[in-house]
Structure 1
């Protein structure tokens, strides 16, 4: 018995209680001086030490039956106030009984007492537990417990000795019983394009993406969290599960990931330690692979923001062709140097092409061939072309977090630098895979990882597509680059409809540039970034080639 209100039923215990009370009164009324002693002597209701006290009468069998029956009746009827008032600690009992009535989802509560054993009354409990959820079936709950009837101090009435274990033998102080879902969010399975479950164990670099998809689409995935009856502590943490109402049923979120391409992507970046790659299907925009190394780092493939270097010349070339400033087979300047806005720009190793065509300059990644056209362009021309034709800078809804490309309006030298993917231009492998996909198909299709039909979201739409003639010229430029230009070594042995572009982006403070490579082969476009590694064809090219080769 834990309550200080209960009367002890043996003489020895009674004497101990009197002794403690007497000591307490002494301490409260005075100290060790004479005045304190006089105060103790003047206390008329104090019990002299050693004076015998009358032992209380034990509760009778009739009182045990009556008190327990009254408690059982009130509890069964849901009258928690009355039931709590029939105990020696009404306040504590009311908290537990109210919680049981309000939070446990009980129906049809029945209490069946057994024959008392002295002042102890065993009893059986049966009820039906249900959740406020039509998909979770009610479940029966049965257990046994016991209560003790004691005589209340002061009133002398027979009452139930309060203990949380009366309600359930596993219940302790500062604990309650409640029914609820097993988890706050239902379990969610993320599926590949074949309907098989994607796991972080099989595809480590998908770990943050899978977690985001589960959280983002948990409510729409069709899963159920299941249900249980449990004991919780004061912080709401589960102490013990008493009854399972329903097992969690996982929801499902579809993606466009191709497991074969994903495995190739994971392997290709893992071999380089620090790299990112994305594969997109040009005919649909479906993202078929995404991988990052290290796997537990930032999702650079989707969220990175890097200068794309010469891979961005694809976008610039489309602008120059549309404006009549370049044509694949027309003569085009590629000097060693070109000055614009007070900066002198040059080519890698200061090479030049004398009497060459624009196709020659594109295949060799001649910087000055593009920068030489800066005087003919307005400051916002490149950004408008990137947005209106390639969808870069629009707000994409791929199904998870993404950075959708940035081509700010700049002037003078910074505008000229933007033409070769430097200056303020910022991209990631997803953006550059989309650029290649747009060239291959002739139209921008916003990449997506989760099919838009799953949640009926709208995809970004570019205001206009590539003209047929410009698209054809871009494909011929990228094909030449892939066959006998700067991308040829990395893409050697790959046939079909193929095109590529290398890039090396200089960054202040880095010993080596960031390596870029983007290419398409038939209905697959891939882009990779290998930071601070050197030339794009040598370092990022093999990453892209491995993914393209995996398609067969």
Structure 2
């Protein structure tokens, strides 16, 4: 240990306040911002203090907690240094008894306000197998409501950043063997190379590890007590996650429908924007080729997100209007600057209008009013949800992709709310996998439920739609999407793609958000993709290049 460091060692578990992290060792051990006096300590215990915490109080409270935790003694005594001893006690105790941490070096960093970061370098040991384990976390000091004492604000994430109220740390023989997930061509898929697949790979292991033919080893797991199809408060799925392997098991090989080349393009393209997601599917089969997210919360929004998709929803609306013979791709349609329905005013971007032109132009330029003007002629507020379910497989709540997913929702609405659904606003909820599937159905003519592993692997029954698009309707829909991709709002993004292509752009307004979410969906030969960039503005500007890059890789 470096000279000058202060340590506390009891039972092989110790805390180190090292001098090499930007401040003096003596100051750290006696108060991270200069130390407190005996008078201050006595004052804090003899009367209920109020007001903001001092730097000395923050330093002393964090030092006391980290020292007692590192000493590995009575968990209840450590928990008394938090503002929730009842909740903290079992989690702190389990760190030794269930996670089997046998020793640790805890190095605090300089406080930032009331937050104190720290690094843990530990050893996990069970049945003769051991491995070093390093991670970082942080604690926050608050003033106790009744005592006025500086206390650690309790949350399971203090002990480990991934711990929540529904997860726990456990070192044991794994309940399922590890898997070697491979793409459709046998290329290995790892979290390190494809970070967006992290939660998906965890779910695949949990669901199919036993069928893949491997054998389990000893691992430190982040175990979830939630439903495996649910999502946790942190935005991740509830599948168990391996944090450390003490002794390796034997991997079983699991083949997925993913395409490593397309996945790589998806990973790269979403990194250009914050809060971006993309998904790609194969129209002829429904096989998922790629799923990628770039989000601060780590949430798999591509498969589990629920957002208004904006004008990309007009693919479904146009199909419904075509089936009712209320429009035709070559028939003239009205596209005024604005339209009023049930007291609600709908406008076009920059108040544009189109006079005396075919409906395909209104579709290609994403004219909102051309769709709204036809609502009275439809005469059925439930027509759009019905079209989405019967033809596009949306809103049936029965997709079985192989992992947790959301299959879209267009609830029954009326009046102005139903009108908003026509242009992908209001109560419509979608994610990019849903919209990639909608585009795939438009391209293929028949809905193929997206899957990431073959249904034959577990004999699961996948969803089917009640009917296909009539051939004439499908042809007109594709012709309008082709026009959008070649001379409409999607032309710039799709310019680099030749062959058979089609697209639809969307900008979805969000309450309390100045800039709209950017949506884009398109197809190129036998691949369809959709993307969303939150607060990205026009569909073709942000989400468009993401989709184009993924389509080009396919």
Deviations 1:120-169 (A, max 9, x none): xxxxxxxxxxxxxxxxxxxxxxxxxxxxxxxxxxxxxxxxxxxxxxxxxx
Alignment-derived partner of residue 70 in structure 1: none
- Per the alignment, residue 395 of structure 2 pairs with 393
- CA distance in 2 between counterparts of 1:520 and 1:190 reads 27
Q: Write out per-residue CA displacement over residues 360-403 of structure 1, whole angstroms, 9 at most, x where no aligned residue.
A: 10011000000111112211110000000000012100011111
Q: Distance in 2 between matches of 1:226 and 1:202?
A: 23
| Matched-pair contact (CA < 8 Å) for 2:332–2:358 | yes
Secondary structure of the structure 2 residue equivalent to 1:536: coil
Report deviation, 1:195.
2.0
Query: Partner of 1:388: helix, strand, or coil?
Result: helix
The aligned counterpart of 1:409 is 412
Distance 1:397 1:404, change over 3 A: same
1:249 and 2:240 correspond: no
CA distance change for structure 1 residues 225 and 191 in 2, over 3 Å: closer, same or farther?
Answer: same
Maintained 8 Å contact 2:266/2:550:
yes
Q: Is the 8 A contact 1:181 1:225 kept in 2?
A: no
- What are the Cα deviations for residues 88-120 of structure 1, in whole angstroms up to 9, with x where unaligned? xxxxxxxxxxxxxxxxxxxxxxxxxxxxxxxxx
Q: Does 1:189 align with 2:190?
A: no
Aligned to 1:382: 384
Distance 2:282 2:296 in 1: 23
Distance 1:540 1:298 in 2: 18
Cα offset for 1:218? 2.2
CA distance in 2 between partners of 1:318 and 1:385 (Å): 8
Higher strand share: 2
Counterpart for residue 305 of structure 2? 304
Q: How many angstroms apart in 2 are the aligned matches of 1:410 and 1:295?
A: 33
CA distance in 2, matches of 1:338, 1:182: 64
CA RMSD of aligned residues (A): 1.7
Q: If you compute each CA radius of gyration, which structure gives the higher value, 1 or 2? A: 1
Kindly report which structure 2 residues correspond to 1:425-440, keeping only aligned pairs within 5 A, or say none.
Answer: 425-440=428-443
Q: TM-score, normalised by structure 2?
A: 0.62
What are the superposed Cα offsets for residues 269-296 of structure 1, whole Å, 9 maximum, x if unpaired?
A: 0121220000100011000011000376
Q: State the alpha-carbon separation in 2 of the partners of residues 296 and 486 from structure 1.
A: 31
2:524 is the counterpart of 1:533? no
What is the Cα deviation at residue 252 of structure 1? Answer: 2.5
For the pair 1:284 / 2:285, whether they are aligned, the reply is yes
Q: Is 1:502 aligned with 2:493?
A: no
Q: Match of 1:354, SS?
A: strand
Quote the residue 2:494 is aligned against.
491
2:476 corresponds to 1:473:
yes
Tell me what 1:106 maps to: none
1:23-76 per-position Cα deviation (integer Å, ceiling 9, x unaligned): xxxxxxxxxxxxxxxxxxxxxxxxxxxxxxxxxxxxxxxxxxxxxxxxxxxxxx
Structure 2 residue runs without a partner (length 5+): 1-170, 220-246
1:418 counterpart residue number: 421
Correspondences of 1:196-345 after superposition (within 5 Å): 196-225=187-216, 248-294=249-295, 297-345=298-346
Give, in whole Å, the separation in 2 of the partners of 1:187 and 1:352. Answer: 58
- Following superposition, the deviation at residue 405 of structure 1 comes to 0.5
1:490 match: secondary structure: helix
- C-alpha displacement of 1:511: 0.7
Contact 2:529 2:550 in 1 (8 A): yes
Deviation at 1:185, TM superposition (A): 2.2
Paired position in structure 2 for 1:461: 464
Structure 1 residues without counterparts, runs of 5 or longer: 1-179, 229-243
Does the 8 Å contact 2:484/2:504 carry over to 1? yes
Give yes or no for the alignment of 1:370 onto 2:371: yes
Distance 2:323 2:549 in 1: 33
Give distance in 1, aligned partners of 2:495 and 2:187: 33
User: What is the CA distance between 1:268 and its match in structure 2?
Assistant: 0.1
